[in-house]
């Protein structure tokens, strides 16, 4: 079986995968408990390679060694994956997963509503609240 080097900050573990496994198949296998624990919402994970600009598509073959894949996705799903990888490797960690910087385009950009002054009892008397 080929081996994949999976990185979920701060954990990096080598995991065996079936021959000719695609990214989509691997995400389904994670959801079915391939690493021992079922990774809920594993379909929301995205695989990236350092030398590629975007996420790998579900139909692409999963890159094996010497390449390394980096996982991104919702924090709770990444935490489940991190814990499963730690169990797989026998390591324990309590470090939190760093968040993807907003300027990299991962998180949606949302404009905050303008601040509205709160009306209070003192407003009518000329005091500013």
| Residue 35, in any domain of the structure | yes
Q: Report the pLDDT value the prediction gives residue 10, as an integer from 0 to 100.
A: 80
Residue 28: give its domain's CATH number: 3.10.20.90
Q: Report the pLDDT value the prediction gives residue 127, as an integer from 0 to 100.
A: 56
The strand order across the sheet containing 11-16 reads 11-16, 3-8, 68-72, 46-49
Distance CA(13)–CA(25), nearest Å, equals 19
pLDDT tens across the length of the chain (129 residues): 888 888 888 888 888 889 899 999 999 999 999 888 899 999 999 999 877 778 899 999 998 888 888 999 999 999 999 988 888 777 655 454 445 555 555 455 556 666 666 555 555 555 555
Is-contact 117 129, C-beta < 8 A? yes
| Residue 17, in any domain of the structure | yes
The count of domains in the chain is 1
| Cα 39 to chain centroid, rounded | 12
Q: Report the pLDDT value the prediction gives residue 97, as an integer from 0 to 100.
A: 45
Q: Provide the residue range defining the domain that includes 54.
A: 3-97
Instruction: Tell me the whole-structure pTM to 2 decimals.
Output: 0.65
Q: Report the pLDDT value the prediction gives residue 1, as an integer from 0 to 100.
A: 82
Q: Report the pLDDT value the prediction gives residue 55, as an integer from 0 to 100.
A: 87
| Residue 114, in any domain of the structure | no
Q: Report the pLDDT value the prediction gives residue 101, as an integer from 0 to 100.
A: 52
């Amino acid at each position: 079986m080929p081996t994949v080097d999976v990185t979920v900050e701060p954990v990096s573990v080598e995991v065996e995968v079936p021959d000719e496994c695609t990214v989509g198949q691997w995400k389904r296998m994670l959801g079915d408990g391939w690493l021992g624990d079922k990774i809920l919402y594993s379909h929301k994970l995205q695989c990236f390679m350092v030398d590629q600009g975007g996420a790998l598509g579900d139909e692409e073959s999963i890159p094996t060694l010497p390449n390394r894949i980096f996982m991104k996705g919702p924090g709770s799903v990444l935490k489940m994956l991190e814990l499963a990888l730690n169990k797989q490797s026998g390591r324990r960690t309590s470090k939190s997963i760093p968040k993807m910087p907003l300027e990299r385009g991962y998180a949606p950009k949302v404009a905050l509503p303008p601040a509205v002054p709160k009306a209070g009892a003192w407003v009518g008397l000329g005091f500013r609240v």
